[in-house]
Amino acid sequence: MTDLAAKVEAFLAEHPPAGADPIEFLRARFDAGLAWVHFPVGAGGLGAPRAAQFAVDEAFAAAGAPEAVPAAKVIGYGMAAPTILTFGTPEQHERFLRPLFTGEEVWCQLFSEPGAGSDLATLATRAVRDGDDWVVDGQKVWTSFAHAARWAILVARTDPTVPKHQGLSYFICDMNDAGVQVRPLRQITGEAEFNEVFLNAVRVPDAHRLGAVGEGWKVAQTTLMNERVAIGAHAAPREGGLIGVAARTWREHPELRTPGLHDRLLRLWVQAEALRLTSERLRQGLAVGQPGPEGSAAKLAFATINQAVSGFEVELQGEQGLAYEDWTMRRPLETDWASRDPGFRYLRTKGNSIEGGTSEILRNIIAERVLGLPREPRSDADVAWKDLPR
């Protein structure tokens, strides 16, 4: 760790953050192996222990170093990068990881479909082999940032004659392909950060496949487990996130306080702090392997607490808590929704219990894989996908 701290210090001395061009700074950071220090040398890392990442990120943040736009982080950093690292070829590492880290290429996730959300393995988007390419046809939905993405991680069905989990393959899809059509889905907030995506004879080179043909479900599990950690267990300081906003409002506006609200704020503060510390422990556990089902618990708690805190804040501010007049549909990618007004946050947090796996599905995962409770009976586990009723 001392060696790593010295590398960060030397890098910052050579590349002063003040006034630096963000893209050039992040490119240099990647090339120095200080992007994801646990990644291999040449892939943005130094082969260091995964637990060292937090200290490196803290040092760069303390120095005021530039960061990629927020839209690049949850999907790009939290889902695509670890999946590409685990299942990608050296050529794929070289092509995709650097512009992903710098935010020059934003990523989206083409998983959910109109008829395959919670039960993702029933998805119907087809990929048919044609020489060195796969021809993809289908529809995806609830795709965050598809309107701005350069690349997408895509799961498609390559064999309909086997049970649903066995006939899937995992690809990197070019969102600039002429067969990709993106349509906005306007949310309760008035924004359209989500989209539906239509794929019409989209050609994906076999060189853009991650993992073996038919192993898409295995690859997707790596993505989904990392996704839940990225959403629910991201690094944050004490009083970070929405609880910090609510606590600051409480301190700055004593005229809004009541005994009942005080008791609720204290309880929410303790819950948020417990989640923060649990998330820190979870991230430390990642130093010895890939995320497990514990990430589902963190994501479930994150959604529950966010919704409770945003509801508290609306009640605390009374009429002003409902104020929300900015109904912009397409917002700049650098916008952080957590910094917006209370009315927006209250509406936006309703999506926290859906995105990244619904709370109901996460409870099933916790029950089966953490608590060891019996699995739900499934009648379709050994039935060929083509024979399933739809």
Catalytic center residues: 227
In this structure, the dihedral spanned by the alpha carbons of residues 240, 241, 245 and 246, taken in order and rounded to 10 degrees, is -100
Query: Token pair of 287, please?
Result: 């130093």
Helix 90-102, helix 22-31: angle, nearest 10: 140
CA–CA separation, 164 vs 122, rounded Å? 6
**Are 183 and 159 spatial neighbours (Cβ–Cβ below 8 Å)?**
no
- Whether 229 contacts 291, CB under 8 Å: yes
Cβ(369)–Cβ(293) below 8 Å: yes
Give one word for 184, left, alpha or beta, with left for phi > 0 and alpha for psi -120 to 50. Answer: beta
